[in-house]
Chains A and B, each alone.
Chain A
Amino acid sequence: AQSVSQHNHHVILSEAASLELGCNYSYGGTVNLFWYVQYPGQHLQLLLKYFSGDPLVKGIKGFEAEFIKSKFSFNLRKPSVQWSDTAEYFCAVNGGLDMRFGAGTRLTVKP
């Protein structure tokens, strides 16, 4: 069965700091990988996705993620965070028909 691990439960950063959120998954076959963001009081929205090709994918709002197959990882990065990035971030994996999510990382950006 698929599983997804997000290592950081809550991350607190100051504006302009760099961000890296870890995501590891467990699945033996080909996977599609996603990062979703949930702003306070809003629904889940897609940040970026990886299906195939270049393992470094760029998403909206300056986010990017790198798929490292050998490490079963798909870490999310942003060079300089903004206060408006305060939200909960979820890594998700589709290795078959359904989609599984990690527990999420809450990011708080202090102005």
Chain B
Amino acid sequence: DTGVSQDPRHKITKRGQNVTFRCDPISEHNRLYWYRQTLGQGPEFLTYFQNEAQLEKSRLLSDRFSAERPKGSFSTLEIQRTEQGDSAMYLCASSLGTGGSLTEAFFGQGTRLTVV
């Protein structure tokens, strides 16, 4: 068990519905990442937090996607008006970083989203 928890593990939703995923990082980790992974691909960077500040967002993160980390602990990723192309594994990772360096990222089990 890596210590990063994601909920739910699986989500099936109808196209057009909104979904929200939660990530609980390792407690002392100040950095939190969201990635998306599709079959046969590596994790694609979506966004990144240092404490409660969202420092970077990928162009993959359209206006329908929003992420928060309100108290610098857990994070949520919301997808509005889901599309079939949103079907993927959504991965959360956390790490401990100071300045420009960081420890390795520890990953959760992921949330598998299926949009039907």
Contacts and interface: CB of A to CB of B under 8 A. Distances in A.
Interface string B65-106: 000000000000000000000000001010101001110111
Contacts of B109: 43
Size category, B interface: 20 to 34
A104 B41 contact: yes
A87 to B, nearest CB: 13
A97 B43 contact: no
Contact of A103 (B42, B45, B48, B101): B42
A98 B101 contact: no
15 contacts: A6-B42, A30-B100, A34-B104, A36-B107, A46-B104, A94-B102, A97-B48, A97-B50, A97-B55, A99-B93, A99-B95, A99-B105, A101-B35, A101-B45, A104-B42
